[in-house]
Amino acid sequence: MNLFEYIRPASLDEAVAAGSEPGAAYLAAGTNLLDLMKTGAARPARLVDVTRLPGLDRIELLADGGARIGAMVRNAELARDRGFARSYPAVAEALLSGASPQIRNAATLGGNLMQRTRCAYFFDPASNCGRRDPGAGCDARAGLNHAHAILGWSDACLATHPSDLCVALVALDASLEIVGPAGRRVIPLEELHRLPGDAPSRETALEAGELIVALRLPPEAAAVRAHSRYLKLRERTSFAFALVSAAAGLEIADGRIRRARLALGGVAAKPWRARAAEEALEGALAGPLAFAEAAALALADARPSGDNAYKIELARRLVLRALERAAAGTPERIPALPASVLADTGATAHA
């Protein structure tokens, strides 16, 4: 690990000033960044620890029906907040399906939004990776890519974004409060992560020194709370990244879908909002025909980036299942195996 400077600023202004220096990186819980530093994939010259900044650890349910969550709220804390989980059950389920209890206790909302791809070539400094080193090419292209992107990828990069949380949040039109050298701004979360195009190293919309300070959910996000699920397919029952995942939220009245929210994870370099599928669902009868059409539309543009054509069919089936489960109603309690297709959602769930 390289020698680096560690700074623990007392205020947001100090943090942004320190974080704007070349080579600086913001450090939250470090559950991702420290791993990257240990392999040598990241070698920041300066770590700016933002975990102790005042005022970033609040969960606020707003009068207008929306919510505002500080960037340093821990994953476990947010998932277990009853008011939050009642309004945004798919977000809570996504949170609880990620990582392990130990990691969720440490990991922060802001850190989760900023986590990097788990592409093994990105993690391995000896591999060529244009996401890590601009212009270096992509060793995953002809390498081990069975879990790589099927949407929005380019020849320059096939990586996927690994977050569960972001998938549910993107589906619900979350936005971000960002503070940087030029002041404060708000952007839709959907615009935070960028598709690789020919510049995969430009991973997010953040400018140098910018720091996410809070996340906002609009009042409409709670409108789908009665029919919300996050489902995640993985090779192990828990503690694994998604092969594919899907967040689905429906508002249903008299059997007809009034509002639909749908996003996919593990399929692209960003959480993938399926707007065409949403449009097809809205106004349709909540049932197999509409769900099948929506699932097909969600994957209409998918194409394999390597040895991963199976993921397209798998994602289509998972979207279908997520819509079915959402239509069946949000479970009373989050299943003991959150987001698992093997979970029993009834009272008999395995503890």
Partner 1 sequence: MPDTPLTGPGHVRLGSNSGQPLTRRDGFLKVTGAATFAADNRPAGLLHAVHAISTIARGRVRSLDVAAARAHPGVVEVITPANRPPLARDQDDKPTMFSWRVETLQDDRVRYAGQPIALVIAETLEAATEGAHLLAPGYAPEPARIGFEDGEAFEAETVGIGSPAAFVRGEVEAGLAGATVRVEFRVETPTQYHNAMEPHAIVAAWDGDRVTIDSPNQAIAMGQAAFAGFLGIPPENVTLRSPFIGGGFGSKAILSGPHVLAALAARMVGRPVKLVFRRDQMVGPVGHRGATRQRLRLGMDRDGHLTALDHEAVVMTSAFDDFLEPAANASQNIYATPALATRHGGVRVDLGTPGPMRAPGEASGSAALECAVDEAAVACGIDPLEFRLRNYAETDPATGRPYSSKALRECYAQGAERFGWAGRPLAPRRMRDGAGRLIGWGMGSALFPAPMFRAEARAVLRADGTALVETSAVDMGQGAWTALAQIAADGLGLPVERIEFRAGHSDHPDGGVAGGSGHTATAGSALFGAGADAVARLAELATGHPDSPLFGAGNAGVEARLGRLVHREDPGRHESYADILARAGIAELAGQAVGARDPAHARDRAMFSHGAVFAEVQVDPDLCQIRVSRLVGAFAAGRIINPHLARSQLNGGMIWGLSFALHEEALHDPRTGRSMNADLAGYHVPVNADVPSVEALLVHEDDPYVNPLGVKGVGEIGITGTVGAIANAVWHATGTRPRRFPIRIRDLLEA
**Backbone dihedral region for residue 173 (phi beyond 0: left; psi -120 to 50: alpha; all else: beta):** left
Q: What is the residue whose two structure tokens read 């986590």? A: 115
Per CB under 8 A, the segment of 16-24, 78-86, 165-173, 231-239 that binds partner 1 is 231-239
Nearer to partner 1, 17 or 312 (CB): 312
Per-residue string for binding with partner 1, 322-341, x by CB under 8 A?
---------------x--xx
Binding to partner 1 by residue 11, rule CB under 8 A? no
Binding to partner 1 by residue 208, rule CB under 8 A? no
Binding to partner 1 by residue 350, rule CB under 8 A? yes
Task: Using CB under 8 A, pick the residue from 25, 61, 106, 120 that binds partner 1.
Answer: 120
User: What is the DSSP code string of 37-102?
Assistant: HHHTS---SEEEE-TT-TT-S-EEE-TTS-EEEETT-BHHHHHH-HHHHHH-HHHHHHHHHSS-HH
Task: Using CB under 8 A, pick the residue from 26, 84, 230, 241 that binds partner 1.
Answer: 241
Binding to partner 1 by residue 191, rule CB under 8 A? no
d(CA 147, CA 291): 25
Binding to partner 1 by residue 210, rule CB under 8 A? no
Element (H or E) spanning 26, and its range? strand 24-27
Nearer to partner 1, 235 or 332 (CB): 235
C-beta separation of 298 from 321 below 8 A: no
Q: Which amino acid is at 346?
A: G
Q: 50-79: which residues touch partner 1 (CB under 8 A)?
A: none
Binding to partner 1 by residue 139, rule CB under 8 A? yes
- Sign for the pseudo-dihedral over CA of 142, 146, 150, 153: negative
Surface-to-core class of residue 287, CB atoms within 10 Å of its CB (0-12 exposed, 13-18 middle, 19+ buried): middle
Binding to partner 1 by residue 243, rule CB under 8 A? yes
Nearer to partner 1, 235 or 254 (CB): 235
Task: Using CB under 8 A, pick the residue from 1, 45, 62, 186 that binds partner 1.
Answer: 1
Surface-to-core class of residue 193, CB atoms within 10 Å of its CB (0-12 exposed, 13-18 middle, 19+ buried): buried
Enumerate helices (H) and strands (E) in the chain, giving the number of each.
12, 12
C-beta separation of 26 from 69 below 8 A: no
| Nearest CA among 73, 66, 102 for reference residue 223 | 66
C-beta separation of 50 from 27 below 8 A: yes
Per-residue string for binding with partner 1, 86-105, x by CB under 8 A?
--------------x-----
Nearest approach, Cβ of residue 128 and partner 1 (Å): 10
Nearer to partner 1, 233 or 274 (CB): 233
d(CA 315, CA 232): 10
Binding to partner 1 by residue 33, rule CB under 8 A? no
Task: Using CB under 8 A, pick the residue from 23, 300, 313, 328 that binds partner 1.
Answer: 313
Q: Considering CB under 8 A, how many residues would be counted as binding partner 1?
A: 42
Binding to partner 1 by residue 235, rule CB under 8 A? yes
Binding to partner 1 by residue 347, rule CB under 8 A? no
Binding to partner 1 by residue 237, rule CB under 8 A? yes
d(CA 333, CA 38): 38
Residue 255: alpha-carbon gap to chain centroid: 30
Task: Using CB under 8 A, pick the residue from 5, 10, 23, 40 that binds partner 1.
Answer: 40
Binding to partner 1 by residue 321, rule CB under 8 A? yes
Q: What residues make contact with partner 1 under the rule CB under 8 A?
A: 1-3, 35, 38-40, 100, 118, 120-121, 124, 126-127, 139, 142-144, 146, 233-241, 243, 310, 313-314, 317-318, 320-321, 337, 340-342, 344, 350
